[in-house]
Amino acid sequence: MPWWHGHSQVDPGTKIGQLVMIGFAGLTPSAEALRLVRDYRVGGIIYFARNVQNVRQVAELSDSLQQAAREAGTLPLWIAIDQEGGMVARITDGVALMPGAMALAAGGVPEAAYRAARICGEELRALGINLNFAPVLDVNNNPRNPVIGVRSFGENAESVAAFGAAAVRGLQDAGVAATAKHFPGHGDTETDSHLDLPVVPHGRERMFAVELKPFVAAIAAGVDCIMSSHIYFPAFEERKLPVTLSPSVLTGLLREELGYDGVIVTDCMEMHAISKHYGTVEASVMAIEAGADAVLISHTYELQVGAIEAITAAVRSGRLSEERIDASVRRLLALKEKRGLLQNGKPAPLDERLAAVGAAEHLEAAAALSLAGVTVVKNDGSLLPFAAQPTLVLAVEPAVVAMVDDELDARHTLGGALAALGCDVQELAIPLAQTSVLRARALELAAGYEQIVVTTYNAHFDAEQQALVLDLLALGKRPIVVATRNPYDLLAFPDVPAYVCTYESRPLALRSAAQVLAGRAAARGKLPVSVGANYTIGWGVTTDAR
């Protein structure tokens, strides 16, 4: 009986190549990427913003990569992306960009996560992308978490499980493989694993009650892939090994105890939690030993080739058995077959596929989902909806705050969204790095206004933003603060009279916030996390439209 039904001629080199996914820079396939497809038979490609110009170019890129695989006589490629929605999305223009996890959860209905994921999946599939590294199933119960935050559905494990399972079903109903990440949970950390090795010290009972609950639900929902985290969990591993390199976690916990038989993919092996401590190449062999099916190496050609050659050498030396390799390739090819990659049919005409991308009904759904999540946490003195009078907007511009972020477009502002609604607005844009320099100018302008709106961006991490808001309060002003990323900013200035959370600074979120501020739409969102003792999960002040 052939080792894989229908693919008995898969050679050892192709088998090993299938275990590796790579990234490259550029809008067209690089020579190095084509060499990895042709000569090393890699299993897949990951896109980042560096690979994206517009939706037509992305679709053409996908087609050209698959054509290269066909011409090389190798298997069709996974083409993957981190299209979580909200603040982590590699394609933002020309698509119906959905709100992120926390914004969806603020709407309170898990069906919203299904709807957002289904539309996202349909558009990705039209662009030739068949694997999404989403949803994030981390339970964000640590306000100091520097990398998860609004990428999570919240701090309640049951809610994260419900929204996460819905998102898994939505993507996979659209024909795109979903990935539950970052197993077994990156929510309760204060270290970014892109930069170093975090440790989560909780015991097994706590882990099963909180962190693992969403992953158990995703497994029950039939999730195609689970991504391992580069985090050390002493409850499951005696040696100080990150999950990605731990047989006790990947094989013992995930495979044997939780009964998962889908694909396990690693987070990027060039992240410092791995590369600084173990080296990307050696760690790639260790990850396969531990039970991973695919290693992700997103950037460096030499490391990508080095990992493939190291895995090959490990098989030749007996360190990795052929049976171990075959077990992973079976899972990978079974999933490629399930998602239609092995049918070798020609894709539909490009214009026909692109007609579904950014369609009007998709944009309308995104707008409704975004508006449903806008959360008014405080409205002392009924400042909202605000009065029809001159308004000063002090807009702290978003910036890259974690390595998972891409550069953000500062052209879209809350002041611009309010002006588009006919409001009388003056806006001072404040780049994050210049908050201290522009604070005096902001206060000078504020002296001439009774109605002031301040947008903040992770101000609970930033003393300069905090000082700006506190200075306004000291002047006797009553600022309306709109938090455009993490909702915890209120902890730094609890006396502001009005506080609104949008959970993201994308143009759609700013338009939704403007509608609520100006009274064009009601606020109905509820907090998916606690913001101090006074504003717990489920809290939200309802405002009405005029």
The answer to whether residue 537 sits within a structural domain is no
Domain assignment present for residue 130? The answer is yes
Confirm whether 196 is domain-assigned.
yes
Clarify whether residues 343 and 487 are in a common domain: no
Is 362 among the residues known to form the active site?
Answer: no
User: Are 234 and 292 contained in the same domain?
Assistant: yes
CATH number of the domain bearing residue 237? 3.20.20.300
**pLDDT > 90 fraction of the chain, expressed in percent and rounded:** 85
Which of these is catalytic: 194, 202, 277, 299? 194
Per-position DSSP letters for 22-90, written without gaps between them: EE--SSS--HHHHHHHHTT--SEEEE-GGG-S-HHHHHHHHHHHHHHHHHHT-PPPEEEE-EEETTEES
Range 329-347 average pLDDT: 91
Quickly tell me which residue has 């999305």 as its tokens: 89
Closest C-alpha to 12, from 332, 331, 292, 325: 325
pLDDT in tens, 368-418: 999 999 999 999 999 999 999 999 999 998 876 665 666 666 678 999 999
Residues 129/79, Cβ–Cβ less than 8 Å: yes
pLDDT of residue 195: 62
Output the six-digit token pair for 449. 């206004």
Residue 355 lies inside a defined structural domain of this protein: no
**What are the pLDDT digits (tens) for 266-297?**
999 999 889 999 999 999 999 999 999 999 99
Sign of CA dihedral 450, 453, 456, 459: positive
- Residues 329, 400 share a domain: no
454 and 487 belong to one structural domain: yes
**Residue 479 DSSP code:** P
Same domain assignment for residues 239 and 110: yes
Tell me: do 331 and 394 sit in the same domain.
no
Q: Between helices 280-290 and 322-338, what is the axis angle to 10°?
A: 80
Whether residue 295 is found in the same domain as residue 395: no
Position 1 confidence tier, pLDDT thresholds 50, 70, 90:
very low
Q: Rounded to whole angstroms, how far apart are CA atoms 339 and 79?
A: 12
Count CB neighbours of 20 within 10 A. 24
Of 82, 138, 267, 489, the catalytic one is 267
- 450 and 311 fall within a common domain: no
One domain for residues 415 and 295? no
Are 488 and 416 members of one domain?
Answer: yes
Residue 333 in domain: yes
On whether the CB atoms of residues 98 and 85 are closer than 8 A, the answer is yes
**Within a domain: residue 531?**
no
pLDDT at 432 over 90: no
Residues 219 and 306 both lie in one domain: yes
Torsion of CA 482, 487, 488, 492, to 10 degrees: 0
CB 207 within 8 A of CB 246: no
| Confidence grade of residue 348 (pLDDT, cut at 50, 70, 90) | confident
- The stretch 29-43 carries a mean pLDDT of 97
CA separation for the pair 425, 397 (Å, rounded)? 17
pLDDT in tens, 44-98: 999 999 999 999 999 999 999 999 999 999 999 999 999 999 999 999 999 999 9
> Is the residue at 545 inside a domain?
no
- Count of residues for the chain? 546
Q: Which of 179-193, 216-230, 338-352, 514-528 has the lowest mean pLDDT?
A: 179-193
Residue 52 confidence (pLDDT): 97
Number of domains in the chain: 2
Rounded to the nearest integer, the mean pLDDT of the chain is 93
Tell which of 349, 382, 401 closes a domain: 349
Q: Are residues 97 and 164 in the same domain?
A: yes
Q: What is the pLDDT of residues 350-367, one digit of tens each?
A: 999 999 999 999 999 999
User: Does any domain span residue 534?
Assistant: no
CB atoms within 10 A of CB 441: 13
pLDDT in tens, 122-134: 999 999 999 999 9
List strands edge to edge, sheet with 451-456: 375-379, 498-501, 480-483, 451-456, 391-396, 425-430
Strand extents, DSSP E, 103-194: 131-132, 179-183
* β-strand pairing of 20-23 with 225-228: unpaired
Range of the domain at 476: 374-517
Domain with residue 486: its CATH number is 3.40.50.1700
User: Is 272 known to be catalytic?
Assistant: no
